[in-house]
Amino acid sequence: MSIVQIKPYIHQNSQCPHCQGDLEPLSILWQGMHICIETECTQCHAKIIDDLKVGHATVLNNQIDLEKNQYFGSEWLSQALLNSLKNPIEDKINITKEIFKSSERVIILNCIDFLYGHCLLKLLNAQSHIDNDSDYGLIVIVPKFMRWLVPDGVSEIWTVDIKLGNSQKHYSSFHQFVSQEMERFQEVYVSKAYSHPQEFNISRFTRIPKHDFQKEDVIVSFIWREDRLWINSLIARGLKKTGLKSLAYWFQNWKIRNLFQRISLMIPEAKFVVTGLGKNTIFPSWIRDERVEKFDDKSEIKICQIYSDSRLVIGIHGSNMLLPSGHAGMTIDIMPKDRWGNFAQDILYAEQDERIAGFRYRYLPDGISLKQLVDIIKSMIIDYSEFISLMTAAKKGIKN
C-alpha cells in the first residue's frame, strides 16, 4: 500500500530504541517536513517520537527521545529532527487553504522538504493517488513555490509559506493548523510520498507538453548554475578562495560558447539557449539568454516551455535537471566526480523502453573533453530517428 492510516488508528509498528519493546502510538505530531508519532514504550515506558515511515523515512528510520536528548537512525535526518523539536518556532506561519471538493476519507500528501528536488519528487506521488485511490480525497501540502505544480483532481491544497532553508524547523502553528483540520475527517491516511516515484506524467503537473520529436527545430539548451560550475573543481575552489569567482563564471561561459560553436559546425541548423539561475557574464546574440536571477511561477512556466522545445538539454547534475529532463527530447547530465552516488536521482525519465531511455538520457563525467562531448551530442541528435526506427521495428511488425 502506498498510504498509512493515522485516523482513527495510527498504523505503525515500531520498536523502542532502548529496550526493543513495542511502541504504543499515542498521537500525531505535525513537525513540518516530518510527520511524527508520539509513542510510549510498552516495556520501559520511554516516550519516543517515531518518524512516520513516509518520504525518506520509508527506508531511513528516525526516532527521538526528547527527555534524554537522543536521536536514533539516519544522522542527516534524525539530528535535525531532534534540534527542531527541541527548538519549536512560535512565529505564526501563513497557510492558505483551498477546498475543491469535500471528502470524509482523505489521503494527505506532505511535500514540505528542505531540498527543492525532494519537494517536487514527493509531489509526483499525487498522480498515482488521483488515478488509483479515487475513493479518497487527496489533500496536498505544498510550499508556496510549488503551488503552481499541483495537478488537477486534488480535493484540497494547503499552501505553506515556508522557505526551503526553514523547512527542517518545527513551527508550532503548523502542528496546530493540521491537527485542527484533522477534526473534519472520519478517516485520514498519509501518502508514502516515495522519494523516487515511477508513475507520473510531468505534463499533468506543469501543464506543458513534453518534447515533440516531429518538430523540425533543433534547439540545444544549457542549464546554467553558479553554485556548481562546469569547470575543474580544483580551479573553481581556488578562484573562489582568492575572490576571483567572476573569472570562474567567465570560464564557464567560455566553455558553453565553445561547446555551442562546435555543435553548430556539425549541425548548422541548431539553435542555442542558455537557461538557469544567475545572470553573471553575457552571451553573444546568437545564443538566446533566458537565465533569471530568481524563479517565480511565470518564469518557471516559460522555462518549462523552452525545455519542451529543446531537442537536447545539457546541465550539471542536481535538482536543476528535474524539470528540464522531464520535458526535453534528450538529456545530458554532466556528473561531478563526487555525485555518482546520486546517479539518476535528478532525472525525470519520460521513456518506457529501456534501450530508448539509454539513448535519450546520458550521464557523462565532468572531465570529458569538449571534442568527445560534441561527438556524443552529434550522434544523439543526428542518429536519433534511425535508432528509434530500428528499436521499434519489431514492435510495429507485431502490431501489423
Instruction: Give, as ranges, the residues between 46 and 75 that touch Zn ion (CB under 5 A).
Output: 46
| Site membership for Zn ion, residue 19 (CB under 5 A) | yes
Q: Which of 10, 29, 36, 41 binds Zn ion (CB under 5 A)?
A: 41
Question: Closest approach of Cβ 226 to Zn ion, in Å?
Answer: 49
172-200 core/surface letters (b: 16 or more CB in 10 A; e: else): eebbebbeebeeebeebbbbbbbbebeeb
- The distance of closest approach from Cβ of residue 176 to Zn ion in the complex, given in angstroms and rounded to an integer, is 29
Nearest-approach distance from CB 349 to Zn ion, in angstroms: 43
Task: Report the residue from 5, 15, 21, 47 that binds Zn ion according to the rule CB under 5 A.
Answer: 21
Task: Please count the residues of the chain.
Answer: 400
Shorter beta-carbon distance to Zn ion: residue 2 or 63: 63
Q: In the bound complex, what is the minimum distance in angstroms from residue 81's beta carbon to Zn ion? A: 19
Q: Walk across the sheet containing 47-51 and list its strands.
A: 23-30, 35-41, 47-51, 62-65, 70-73
Give the H/E segment covering residue 346.
none
- Residue 19 or 390: which CB sits closer to Zn ion? 19
Strand partners, 177: none
Residue that is written with C-alpha cell 519537494 in the block: 119
**Listed ranges 39-47, 58-66, 131-139, 176-184: which one lies at the site for Zn ion (CB under 5 A):** 39-47
Cα distances (Å, whole numbers) of residue 353 to 40, 327, 363, 374, 376 = 49, 17, 18, 25, 20
Task: Decide if residue 22 touches Zn ion (CB under 5 A).
Answer: no
HSE, side-chain direction, 13 A CA sphere, residue 354:
0
Q: At closest approach, how far in Å is the CB of 67 from Zn ion?
A: 12
The only residue of 11, 26, 27, 44 in contact with Zn ion, by rule CB under 5 A: 44
Query: Three-state SS for 250?
Result: helix
- Position 16 contacts Zn ion (CB under 5 A): yes
The minimum distance between CB 73 and Zn ion, in angstroms, equals 16
Q: Interface with Zn ion includes 278 (CB under 5 A)?
A: no
Measured from the CB of residue 133, what is the shortest distance to Zn ion in angstroms? 35
- Interaction between residue 26 and Zn ion (CB under 5 A): no
Return the HEC string of 267-314. Answer: CCCCEEEEEEECCCCCCCCCEEECCECCCCHHHHHHHHHHHHHCCEEE
CA distance 162 to 170: 11
Residue 42 or 186: which CB sits closer to Zn ion? 42
Under rule CB under 5 A, residue 18 binds Zn ion: yes
**Binding interface with Zn ion (CB under 5 A):** 16, 18-19, 21, 41, 43-44, 46
